[in-house]
Structure 1
Amino acid sequence: MIHHYRHTLTFYLLSAAMPWSLWLMAAALSHRPDAAQYGLLISALGLAGLCAPLLTALALAARDRAVLRDMAQRLTRIAPGSGVYVGLALVLMPASILAAMALSLLLGYDADQFVISGQTSFSSTVFPVWFILLSAPIIEELAWHSYGVDCLRRRFSLLTSSLLFALYWGLWHLPLALIDGYYHSNLAAQSVIHSFNFLVSLFPFVLLMNWLYYKTGRNILITVALHMSANVFNEIFATHPDSKMIQTLLLLGLCAYLLWTERALFLNRDLDGEISPPPESSAPLPHPTP
């Protein structure tokens, strides 16, 4: 089935070119003296850029009914015995940020980090901030894990696919740092090292996401759950930016462990046994040999 996901270059070029174009226009408007008058347009451009990879995935999938059918089934189908992975998707990110904040206390950081502040690290003129935090993972993962990761996996091992995607994803976010008031813009204004940490953190995050993705039979919603939990729990607390750097180190350590214990999954380029079966099989059952 995964061999049907063949439009790798087209998907990734369009999924970068369209958002970048829209977000650069939004960035230019956001820095105008009369930017407040363009609040609705800036938000619309931001949302359109976010949706562009999903629309690209759907357009490419529409060329092959088998791909459309596979994508639809992976929204609900999950491998047997996946309960532990569902739990990890929900718990992993809150546990890691809480552990990071706890470790930061040993380095002299304030315990006020554990306070649920009710404030977020960015603003939005039109859409509620929590709407963005909850909707972005859905929109993104319906693109990245409906088509994007699989078209890479068709050509590379899971490890290589994950590293390539993490690098691409980091570059994909860059124009957002130019839009005044956005999370990435505020992060860039805060310090270079914290911006760099965001880019580095994508590598363990993608490795963990793809590990869960394959462990559950390429279930798309498991990636939505992990992404959403990361967004929520990295915003809900008054976390010091340095604690997020500690979180990155913790996740890198976990990934090192998984890369060793699950090296066959990450390094084997043979697709057999790693992906969910095709939705329909036309191959006849073998007849027993007399």
Structure 2
Amino acid sequence: MPDTSMNARSLYKPAQFFLIAYSIAWVFWFTTAYFSYHGGTGGLLGLLMFLGLCGPLAAALVMFWKSKSPELWDDYKDRLFSLRRINPRMLPFILFLVPAVMIVAIGISVLFGKSPGQFTILLGSSFMTLPGLIGLFVAPAFEEAGWRGYGVDSLRSRSTLFVTSLSFGLLWAFWHTPLFFISGFYHNTLLSSWLYTANFFVSAFVLAFIINWLFYRNNRSIIACFLFHLSANIAMSFIPAEQFTKCIITVLLLIVAGVIVIMNRKLFFEDKWCGDGAPGE
């Protein structure tokens, strides 16, 4: 395939995309934070949270519309719905990496005197309610439809996958910032310790490398990334890992990400994305 990277650079506008994605999320989420301390009802807070979550998807749709490119639209729809892009041999990795890492991390934490009760499943979790289950599925669906739908490709059109993953990891991690100011929200509870707060940002940064690798190794399948993201969310929601254990999880995922980068040096450091298909195709 001829190198069409210059065409990709002209079609993709990363600065505009991330500005829209951040603006929508931060406006609604900081508003949520305000009302969480000033008498906002559960319904209002839930609506504002949902609207903020729409940021990446809305940004992607706006950018595809602005591109006036039928090819980009067709490519997006195929990546969004086609299962044939997924490499079947990677399904165990997609579905079970994070749960497996969590089990290993819990085992290590028990050696440090932490509770073996972490080896349980929280069937009484708040995520077992209808709104909780909807949120569990909607969050990764909307995020991946935006991040992997447009955002990562837009960064990839201008740099190597390694630099893309560095950039996206930082952007994705700090995109969550308003959530730390919402009273009673999970991220807000992490502020009790600088270590736990830092661990969240580092874990998001590390996961960016892993998901981006899955994205390009599965022919830019958004569904593959959604399934990985969903699997991680389900594991984190229903397995009661302590914060100490979550720090161990981050270390283990960092090792996994390091191995992935080393074993895929050509993909991360050499291949140029041509604006169609996976890098190097």
Structure 1 or 2, whichever has the larger Rg, is 1
Q: TM-score, normalised by structure 1?
A: 0.87
SS in 2 for 1:108: coil
Q: Do 1:96 and 1:251's aligned partners in 2 also have CA atoms closer than 8 Å? A: yes
1:248 partner amino acid:
T
Report the counterpart of residue 178 of structure 1 in structure 2.
Answer: 181
Distance 2:259 2:268 in 1: 12
1:96 partner amino acid:
V
Q: Do 1:156 and 1:269's aligned partners in 2 also have CA atoms closer than 8 Å? A: no
Where do 5+ consecutive residues of structure 1 fail to align? 278-290
1:237 partner amino acid:
I
Output aligned runs, 1:193-272, within 5 Å. 193-271=195-273
Distance 1:202 1:78 in 2: 28
Deviations 1:211-264 (A, max 9, x none): 111111111101001110110101111211111111111111111111111111
Where do 5+ consecutive residues of structure 2 fail to align? none
Q: Do 1:197 and 1:245's aligned partners in 2 also have CA atoms closer than 8 Å? A: yes
Distance change in 2, residues 1:17/1:273 (3 Å)? closer
SS in 2 for 1:181: coil
Following TM superposition, by how much is the alpha carbon of 1:199 offset from its aligned partner in structure 2, in angstroms? 0.4
Following TM superposition, by how much is the alpha carbon of 1:130 offset from its aligned partner in structure 2, in angstroms? 2.6
Distance 2:278 2:258 in 1: 26
2:30 partner amino acid:
L
Distance change in 2, residues 1:209/1:5 (3 Å)? farther
Report the counterpart of residue 141 of structure 1 in structure 2.
Answer: 144
Deviations 1:130-186 (A, max 9, x none): 321221000110000110000000001111111111101111100011111222112
Of 37, 56, 59, the residue aligned with 2:59 is: 56
Following TM superposition, by how much is the alpha carbon of 1:187 offset from its aligned partner in structure 2, in angstroms? 2.1
Distance 1:127 1:163 in 2: 36
Distance 2:102 2:210 in 1: 15
SS in 2 for 1:135: helix
Structure (1 or 2) with the greater helix fraction: 2
Of 110, 115, 139, the residue aligned with 2:115 is: 110
Aligned residues between the structures: 270
RMSD of aligned Cα (Å): 2.2
Of 83, 107, 110, the residue aligned with 2:88 is: 83
Distance change in 2, residues 1:23/1:232 (3 Å)? same
SS in 2 for 1:128: helix
Distance 1:236 1:269 in 2: 38
Q: Do 2:157 and 2:275's aligned partners in 1 also have CA atoms closer than 8 Å? A: no
Deviations 1:173-216 (A, max 9, x none): 0001111122211222x322111101001122111111111111
Following TM superposition, by how much is the alpha carbon of 1:6 offset from its aligned partner in structure 2, in angstroms? 1.4
Distance 2:269 2:140 in 1: 27
Distance change in 2, residues 1:61/1:21 (3 Å)? same
Is residue 16 of structure 2 the alignment partner of residue 14 of structure 1? no
Output aligned runs, 1:24-35, within 5 Å. 24-32=30-38, 34-35=39-40
Distance 2:193 2:159 in 1: 35
Distance 1:273 1:51 in 2: 25
Following TM superposition, by how much is the alpha carbon of 1:79 offset from its aligned partner in structure 2, in angstroms? 4.3
